[in-house]
Chains A and B, each alone.
Chain A
Amino acid sequence: MGQQVLNGVFLGSIYALFAVGYTLVFGVLDILNLAHAAVFMLSAFAALALVADAHLSIWVALPLGVVVGGLLGVILERVAFRPLRGRSDSNISGLISSLAMATVFEAIALQIFGPDVSRFPQDTFPDRTIHVAGASASLLQLCIVAISVALMAALTLLLARTRLGRRIRAVAESPKAARILGIDVDRTIAVAFFISSGLGGAAGVLFGLAFNSISPDVGRSVELKGLAVIILGGMGSVPGAVIAGFVLGLIEIFTVAHFGSSYRDAVSFAVLFVVLVARPRGLLGRAAAREA
């Protein structure tokens, strides 16, 4: 029991970290960024290349992977989202153009790293097991949970307490009003993309370390899980995504324990479906009509 809770929290922390970035962009732009999973995947590959080929320590490669993710996010915003701003159908066409960028990113990964599974070198992270109250966890797992929680706490503080956070929230509320008040809307959105994709990249690197297998389609399953998380948490709600990430991680681990691993993925889609039909605004979403 304790062991399963621990595993669920561990899995959930990665889902939550991925989904927080996802939901941040949705909150600001009302656009679903379907390239988020491709950024996740490319950042994982970038960190892997830095560790395996450039022989850097993972503690250097991880932040660099996050920066790679952030920069990809800025490119994404520039190429796929900014030109569409102001078009009447921008939420559907933005979804499609992000899909186009995801396809391009995936093609790049396939060309450079090949379709096979790549792995971190054996000694990337010290292999140590720690026992807590009858449950055992590896040092790596504990570090991943700690890093995820720290990043999410930092994001929450940034949004709530800093000038930048206030600007992002203002743009999310109403881009037009924000512009009138003297906020550089384009720049704020670009920064939001940098943060969102950086967090997605961090999730990618941690996911790669945790399961030690990275392939160009690694983002696929996480993408759909991420959708379930942001729907459950309420689209655009950062705290909602955090809670929902952990909830989904726990649900998944308990499903595997009680019904077998073949139902693992089905559960998250069932959750997604039920929430959308019964309570479309999710756990903590705004009560506004969902007419996006």
Chain B
Amino acid sequence: MDLFYAYEALIAFVGINGLLALSIYATLCCGQLSLANAGFMAVGAYTGALITLHAPHVPFALVLLASVAAPAVLAVPLGLPVLRLRGVFLAIATVGFGEVVRLAFVNWDFTNGALGLVAIPQRTHLWTIFLALAVVLFVLGRLQGSRAGFALAAIREDETAARTMGIDANSYKLAMLVAGAAIAGLAGALEAHFTFIVSPSGYGFSRVVDMLVQAVVGGVAVFFGPAIGAAFLTLLPEILREVGARLGLSPGPFRLFLDGVVLLAVILYLPNGLASLPQHLRRRRAA
């Protein structure tokens, strides 16, 4: 039991990072690389933290609901103009949006500027995080193989062809951007009520890069891939901590180094991520 408490934070971050990686997957599964999710996460975290701090009697479920709704609503006016862009251009535009959100919080006195909000009561438990993760996984799992899921896959493979088949690509892409924003907002609120603080520096470009790395390492061909990637990359530095120390590397650089090397190995040798590893090995053996 002591062991469990020692690793409580680590386990919590497996869940939170899983949600964040899934929020990237939501747009990636229809072929859109949107990197606005650190911004959406910030909106969710601030919304939740402000409600908890100013109206402590509001039930936590309602707080989370608000944290899901706020970024989802914000995603609509962002998505309408931006989703016309493709590939790298969409990625750049959404990076810009994420930074603007972060800078807005830095310059806003009501949210205490660059220092952020502190002493947020802890209202997130491990079960809340994993319940949220289970719900999101369930919804995304039901999507795969449904009519909408096939439409998303068609848009990913060839948007022009999908359009000629009568698929309303714009609505689907917007819906998935909104879904990703909602998931990121949820993760942001859960994290804020777990770590006691929200500050703009936690939602920069490197945060969204982390999400993307975890999603890609896990694999974006199946819905549970990103969650596997998040768990793997969150746990790996802890498991290999001894190895790093023996090599004389400090923990910070060692974690970064592992992230980079794992990501590179996956993108070069296992394009569908760790989730495709069993399948990959089976095919190898057969051949």
With an 8 A cutoff between CB atoms, is B10 at the interface? no
Contact A280 B254 (CB under 8 A): no
With an 8 A cutoff between CB atoms, is A210 at the interface? no
With an 8 A cutoff between CB atoms, is A209 at the interface? no
Number of chain B interface residues as a range: 35 or more
Which of A92, A96, A265, A291 lies in contact with B99, CB distance below 8 A?
Answer: A265
Contact B205 A97 (CB under 8 A): no
Among A148-156, A159-167, A271-279, the one that faces the other chain is A271-279
Collect the chain A residues with CB atoms within 8 Å of residue B97's CB.
269, 273
Of residues 68 through 93 on chain A, the ones whose CB sits less than 8 Å from some CB of chain B are 79-80, 83-84, 87, 91-93
A276-B96 CB under 8 A given contacts A83-B268, A107-B260, A262-B106: yes
Interface SS of A by simple majority? helix
A103-B267 CB under 8 A given contacts A269-B100, A276-B92: no
A97-B85 CB under 8 A given contacts A224-B95, A272-B93: no
Which of B96, B212, B254 lies in contact with A273, CB distance below 8 A?
Answer: B96
With an 8 A cutoff between CB atoms, is B86 at the interface? yes
With an 8 A cutoff between CB atoms, is B129 at the interface? no
**A42 → B minimal CB distance (Å):** 13
A92: nearest chain-B partner, CB-CB: B33
Contact B268 A92 (CB under 8 A): no
B interface list, Cβ under 8 A from A: 33, 81-82, 85-89, 91-93, 95-97, 99-100, 103-104, 106-107, 204-206, 209, 212-213, 216, 249-250, 252-254, 256-257, 259-261, 263-264, 267-268, 271
Contact A99 B263 (CB under 8 A): yes
**A73 → B minimal CB distance (Å):** 16
Give A108 to B206 CA distance when docked, in angstroms: 17
**B36 → A minimal CB distance (Å):** 11
A96-B92 CB under 8 A given contacts A103-B256, A107-B260, A266-B100: no
Contact A95 B209 (CB under 8 A): no
A292-B89 CB under 8 A given contacts A99-B263, A106-B256, A276-B82: yes
Pairs across A and B, CB under 8 Å, 21 listed: A32-B91, A80-B264, A92-B33, A93-B267, A96-B212, A96-B216, A99-B212, A102-B260, A103-B213, A103-B260, A110-B253, A111-B249, A111-B250, A115-B252, A224-B95, A224-B205, A269-B100, A273-B97, A276-B93, A280-B89, A291-B87
A277: nearest chain-B partner, CB-CB: B81
A104-B87 CB under 8 A given contacts A92-B33, A269-B103, A276-B93: no
Give A223 to B96 CA distance when docked, in angstroms: 12
